[in-house]
Structure 1
């Protein structure tokens, strides 16, 4: 019980921020509570800071995001996944490959940074943000400062793309499908992708999450690929079976939960009332999760992140986002 009591102040803070955001969203043109709550919590974090007693509860925000995605699976029909399977998989694989290659080329030849830092930036921008940075770092043993630089750069672009993508989407008049697939295929981390998608529309949010989960599922393959590359000359720890197991354990478990609810809902395991209830709970979980996401936005990162890593990621993001958007607009 003492462990649970430690979480109460932070959880209460997240809920209060969510309630404030739902109220403020009524007065913000085109405002979504999911985006407003990030702004509210980020303002609090950077203006007055987070009370130490609230830190443990705030740190649970990632779990609430995962739980919300799992419950969202009940309202996503299996037929949609099957229908989208081929095209979405093609878009995801293409986006991941283009992102990795472009960032690696930029980092090695055009805007040179240390080799392993470039690989961390490529993994973070192509798969699932800081989670991919951590997974690949576990497989290639970079300098700790390189991990910090890569993580800081990715978090910087998470904050920027969360705001910029919906603006670009509305300016270009993108359909819900195109915007959702575009955001899911090219933005970095699951939280900002989900927030941007649902800020655009409910269907766009669902498509963004589906595509993003497909990308997340590739984290193990990319980590293994980098481990194999860096162990070719004995420059890093031997590529053992235990290491392979440790890398594959980084594959997000909530993807399995999401797919399980998709299948159960398709088989009729839930009534329409139960699905509606899970959808409402999912919306609240997202709201609480994004409050925590906002609390982790530090404006000092805009000044602390080195210019060259940021330039590498910016150029890579421009290449992959533009190319994917052009393809999507041509196809859809």
Structure 2
């Protein structure tokens, strides 16, 4: 009974932070409510702190994000993917490959970073943030300090891009579709990419989620590739155990997103239901981003070493700048 009560209280805290974010956005129209919600969460989490009684509920924020993305699938038209076709697929694969290689090369040849830490940084910055760090860490037997450095670096860039990307959109008047695809291709984690996309427009948000999910789906392939590289001298039992780990860490909510997109495309979900699902998705995102803000601890970000940040910064600037230039040409 107590656990259920704490769970409910934690969710109510997320809801209250979300409502405050909406109120701030109404008072400051230039600030989108999702970004405002994250900022309120960061402020509460780093001043008052995350109450013990709210911990269980706050930890559900990833579940709300995944549920919101699944419902969003109903509003993403299949013809958008068909229109983008091979071009979008090549952009996704090319961005991931370049990001992985650039971080690996910088880590190994320009900075004194251990091989496994460099691999975790490459996975986190190229696929899906901390989720990719955890997935690859389990495949290569990385230790806790290596995971902490990589995860801290990813979270730092998640925080920075939440602020910088909307500023770029305003400063350079980037078209909504281009901005959404750019965010989906280059931002590290699903939550920040979704928040930044929808802070611009529904079009930008839907493209950001669509492209980001496509990148996320490569987590299994990437983790498998790293596992094979680091498991060259291990036995068959160890390989079997780590293959199971790859499936456990795969983002299975992607299947729900694709299912609802398919049902909406064939007409099983009509326009009225799509609108209702969009509203429900927005409320779920509000809870998710309130929790995201609460979980961002500035003290932990300050503990991240200089070299991991330098490696990822150089790669990120090169990759994001190149991708934006290419998008302006091909779209």
Which residue of 1 is the match for residue 220 of structure 2?
Answer: 220
The 5 Å alignment of 1:79-228 reads 79-228=79-228
Q: Distance in 2 between matches of 1:324 and 1:188?
A: 14
Matches of 2:132 and 2:87, distance apart in 1: 24
Aligned to 1:34: 34
Extract unaligned runs of 5+ from structure 1: none
Offset of 1:29 from its aligned partner?
Answer: 4.0
Q: What is the TM-score of this pair, normalised by structure 1?
A: 0.97
The C-alpha deviation readout for 1:272-308, integer Å capped at 9, x for no partner, is: 2211111100000001100000001111133210011
Contact 1:141 1:237 (C-alpha < 8 Å) held by counterparts: no
Match of 2:293 in 1: 294
Compare 96-105 and 298-307 and name the one that shifted more.
Answer: 298-307
CA-atom RMSD, angstroms? 1.4
Deviations 1:148-207 (A, max 9, x none): 111111111111111111111221111011101110001000000000110111100000
Secondary structure class of the residue paired with 1:102: helix
Partner of 1:303: 302
Aligned to 1:277: 276
Kindly provide the CA deviation profile for residues 103-150 of structure 1, in whole angstroms up to 9, marking residues without a partner as x. Answer: 001100112201100000000000000000000001000121111111
Partner Cα separation in structure 1 for residue 60 and residue 304 of structure 2: 25
Q: Aligned-pair distance for 1:54?
A: 0.3
Aligned residues: 331
Question: Taking structure 2 as the reference length, what is the TM-score of the superposition?
Answer: 0.97
Q: Secondary structure at the match of 1:249?
A: helix
- Taking structure 1 as reference, are residues 118 and 238 closer, same or farther at Cα in structure 2, changes over 3 Å only? farther
The 2-side partners of 1:127 and 1:119 are apart by 12
**1:231, 1:237 within 8 Å by CA — same for their partners in 2?**
no
Contact 1:227–1:239, Cα closer than 8 Å, also in 2: no
**CA-to-aligned-CA distance 1:228-251 (integer Å, 9 cap, x gap):** 1112244x9965233213213321
Structure 1 residue 3 displacement after superposition: 4.1
- Does the CA contact (< 8 Å) of 2:220 and 2:246 recur in 1? yes
Q: What SS class does the counterpart of residue 188 from structure 2 fall into?
A: coil
Contact 1:231 1:238 in 2 (8 A): no
| Distance in 2 of aligned mates of 1:308 and 1:108 | 12
Q: C-alpha offsets along residues 25-80 of structure 1, whole Å, 9 cap, x if unaligned? A: 01224211100000011101111101100011000000000000000111111111
Name the CA distance, whole Å, in 1 between partners of 2:308 and 2:171: 29
Contact 1:184 / 1:207 at 8 angstroms: preserved in 2?
Answer: yes
Q: Please tell me whether residue 246 in structure 1 is matched to residue 263 in structure 2.
A: no
Contact 2:231 2:239 in 1 (8 A): no
Residue 330 of structure 1 corresponds to which residue in structure 2?
329
Cα distance in 1 between the residues matched to 2:252 and 2:277: 19
Equivalent pair of 1:156/1:301 in contact (CA under 8 Å): no
